[in-house]
Chains A and B, each alone.
Chain A
Amino acid sequence: MTNLLTLKNTIIGIAVLVGSALLLTGCPSGQGNLLDRGDAAQKTYVAPGEYDEFYAFFSGGYSGQMSVWGLPSGRMFKNIPVFSQDPETGYGYYEESKPMLQTSYGFIPWDDSHHPHLSQTDGIADGRWIFINANNTPRIARLDLELFETVEILELPNTGGNHASSFVTTNTEYIVGATRFSIPYETDLDVPIDSYSENFNGAFSLIKIDENTGEMSLDFQIIVPPYNYDLARPGKGPSADWIFFTTYNTEEAHTLLEINASAYDKDYVAALNWRKAAEFVAEGRAELIDAEYYHNYYDKSQGMAVSEVKDKVLLLDPKDAPGILYFMPTPKSPHGVDVDPSGEYLVAGGKLATVIPVHSFSRMIDAIENERFVDEVDGIPVLDYDATIVGEVENPGLGPLHTEFDGNGYAYTSVYISSEIVKWSLETFEVVDRIDAYYSIGHLMIPGGDTVDPYGKYMVGLTKTAKDRYLPTGPKQNHPAQLYDISGDRMQLLLDFPTLGEPHYAQAISRDKIMPNARRIYELSENNHPHAIKRVADARVEREGDVVRVYMANIRSHFRPDNIEGVKVGDTVYFHLTNLEQEWDVVHGFAIKGMNNAEVLLAPGQTKTLKWEPKRTGIFPFYCTAFCSALHQEMQGYVRVSAADSDVELTWRTGDL
Chain B
Amino acid sequence: MRLPVIIFSFMLSATLIACGNGNGNGGDASSRSASSGAAQEAGLSDFELEHGIGPITSPMTMGDFDIEMAARGQDIFESKCAACHQMENRLVGPPIEGLTERRSPEFLMNMILNPNDMARKHPEGQKMMQEYMMVMPFQNVSENEAREIVEYFRQIDKGL
Task: Report which A residues bind B (CB closer than 8 A).
Answer: 49, 51, 512, 520-521, 523-524, 534-537, 553, 555-558, 560, 580-584, 586, 629-631, 655
Counted as pairs of residues, one from A and one from B, with CB atoms less than 8 Å apart, the total is: 62
Complex formed: what's the CA distance from A537 to B79 in Å?
A: 9
Q: Which chain B residues numbered 128 to 160 have a C-beta less than 8 Å away from chain A?
A: 133-135, 137-141
How far is the CB of B136 from the nearest CB of chain A, in Å? 9
Most chain A beta carbons < 10 A, residue from B78, B84, B137:
B137
Residues of A within 8 A of B141 (CB): 582
- Given pairs A512-B8, A556-B137, 18 additional interface contacts (CB within 8 A): A49-B16, A520-B25, A521-B140, A555-B84, A555-B137, A556-B92, A557-B92, A557-B134, A581-B137, A582-B25, A582-B80, A582-B140, A583-B22, A583-B25, A584-B25, A586-B137, A631-B133, A655-B91
Interface flags, B87-131, vs A, CB<8A=1, else 0 = 000011000000000000000000000000000000000000000
Complex formed: what's the CA distance from A542 to B43 in Å?
A: 53
Complex formed: what's the CA distance from A521 to B82 in Å?
A: 19
Complex formed: what's the CA distance from A584 to B22 in Å?
A: 8
- Whether A580 contacts B79 by the Cβ 8 Å rule is yes
Among B12, B25, B78, point to the contact of A535 (Cβ < 8 A).
B78
Complex formed: what's the CA distance from A512 to B78 in Å?
A: 37
Q: Please classify the interface of chain A as helix (H, G, I), strand (E, B), loop, or mixed, using the class held by over half of its residues.
A: loop
Among A560, A582, A629, point to the contact of B138 (Cβ < 8 A).
A582
- Whether A555 contacts B83 by the Cβ 8 Å rule is yes
How far is the CB of B6 from the nearest CB of chain A, in Å? 13
Among B24, B80, B84, B133, point to the contact of A524 (Cβ < 8 A).
B80
Among B12, B83, B135, B140, point to the contact of A523 (Cβ < 8 A).
B140
Complex formed: what's the CA distance from A630 to B131 in Å?
A: 13
Indicate whether B31 reaches chain A with its CB closer than 8 angstroms. no
- Whether A536 contacts B133 by the Cβ 8 Å rule is no
- Whether A553 contacts B25 by the Cβ 8 Å rule is no
25 chain-A/chain-B pairs, Cβ below 8 angstroms: A49-B16, A512-B8, A521-B25, A524-B79, A524-B80, A535-B78, A536-B78, A536-B83, A537-B82, A555-B92, A555-B137, A556-B92, A556-B134, A557-B92, A580-B83, A581-B137, A581-B139, A582-B138, A582-B141, A583-B25, A583-B137, A583-B139, A584-B25, A586-B137, A655-B91
Q: Which 9 A-B pairs have the closest CB atoms?
A: A582-B140, A555-B83, A536-B83, A582-B139, A535-B78, A583-B137, A534-B79, A583-B138, A520-B25
Indicate whether B33 reaches chain A with its CB closer than 8 angstroms. no
- Whether A629 contacts B134 by the Cβ 8 Å rule is yes
Residues of B within 8 A of A583 (CB): 22-23, 25, 137-140
- Whether A560 contacts B134 by the Cβ 8 Å rule is no
Task: Report which B residues bind A (CB closer than 8 A).
Answer: 8, 12, 16, 22-25, 78-80, 82-84, 91-92, 133-135, 137-141
Residues of B within 8 A of A580 (CB): 79-80, 83
Residues of B within 8 A of A520 (CB): 24-25
Residues of B within 8 A of A523 (CB): 140
Complex formed: what's the CA distance from A37 to B140 in Å?
A: 49
- Whether B134 contacts A630 by the Cβ 8 Å rule is yes
Residue of A nearest to B23 (CB): A583
Among A537, A555, A629, point to the contact of B78 (Cβ < 8 A).
A537
How far is the CB of B128 from the nearest CB of chain A, in Å? 13
Residues of B within 8 A of A524 (CB): 79-80
How far is the CB of B83 from the nearest CB of chain A, in Å? 4
Residues of B within 8 A of A558 (CB): 83, 92
Complex formed: what's the CA distance from A584 to B15 in Å?
A: 13
Most chain A beta carbons < 10 A, residue from B79, B84, B138:
B79
Complex formed: what's the CA distance from A557 to B84 in Å?
A: 9
Complex formed: what's the CA distance from A49 to B16 in Å?
A: 8
Residue of A nearest to B18 (CB): A584
Residue of B nearest to A523 (CB): B140
Complex formed: what's the CA distance from A629 to B84 in Å?
A: 14
Residue of B nearest to A512 (CB): B8
Most chain A beta carbons < 10 A, residue from B22, B80, B83:
B83
Residue of B nearest to A555 (CB): B83
Complex formed: what's the CA distance from A553 to B25 in Å?
A: 22
Complex formed: what's the CA distance from A582 to B139 in Å?
A: 4
